[in-house]
């Protein structure tokens, strides 16, 4: 996983970040700052989750139906009479269910 890149910013140094932080502090106040950081963290986490999910779908679409069927069988998904696309959809759904059941870190 690659870290979030801020390469679109033209060489912003330490003092510039302090000035930006000071302006944000003035605009939103000290009480809103943790809430803003939490919201930004959740947005980044959701973006990363969505991008890795798309990667998984792309990887599965490049596999043969037999390979996808083996993965589905390991997850307890019945494969008989289902197309490769249906199996991929059910695999993704099952993975999402398992992730939802896991306790948050």
Total structural domains in the chain? 2
Claim to verify: residue 70 and residue 105 sit in the same structural domain: yes
Claim to verify: residue 104 and residue 68 sit in the same structural domain: yes
Q: pLDDT tens track of the chain, all 105 residues?
A: 455 555 565 677 778 888 888 888 888 888 888 888 888 888 888 777 776 766 566 777 778 888 888 888 888 889 999 988 888 888 888 888 877 777 665
Residue 17: half-sphere exposure toward Cβ, Cα within 13 Å: 6
Q: How far is CA 19 from CA 4, 5, 37, in A?
A: 21, 20, 17
Please give the model's pTM, rounded to 2 decimal places.
0.43
65 CB-contact burial (10 Å; exposed 0-12 / middle 13-18 / buried 19+): middle
| Residue 20 belongs to domain spanning | 12-49
Per the listing, tokens 């003035």 go with 26
Q: How far is CA 75 from CA 42, 46, 54, 72, in A?
A: 29, 25, 19, 5
Residue 4 is assigned to a structural domain of this protein: no
Claim to verify: residue 102 and residue 67 sit in the same structural domain: yes
Claim to verify: residue 68 and residue 103 sit in the same structural domain: yes
What local confidence, expressed as pLDDT, does residue 80 receive? 92
């Amino acid at each position: 996983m690659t870290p979030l890149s801020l390469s679109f910013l033209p060489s912003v140094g330490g003092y510039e970040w302090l000035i930006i932080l000071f302006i944000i502090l003035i605009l939103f106040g000290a009480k809103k700052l943790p809430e803003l950081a939490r919201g930004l963290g959740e947005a980044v986490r959701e973006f990363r989750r969505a991008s890795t999910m798309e990667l998984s779908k792309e990887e599965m679409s490049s596999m043969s139906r037999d390979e996808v069927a083996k993965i589905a069988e390991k997850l307890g998904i019945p494969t008989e009479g289902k197309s490769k696309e249906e199996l991929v959809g059910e695999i993704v759904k099952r993975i999402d269910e398992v992730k939802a059941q896991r306790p948050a870190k």
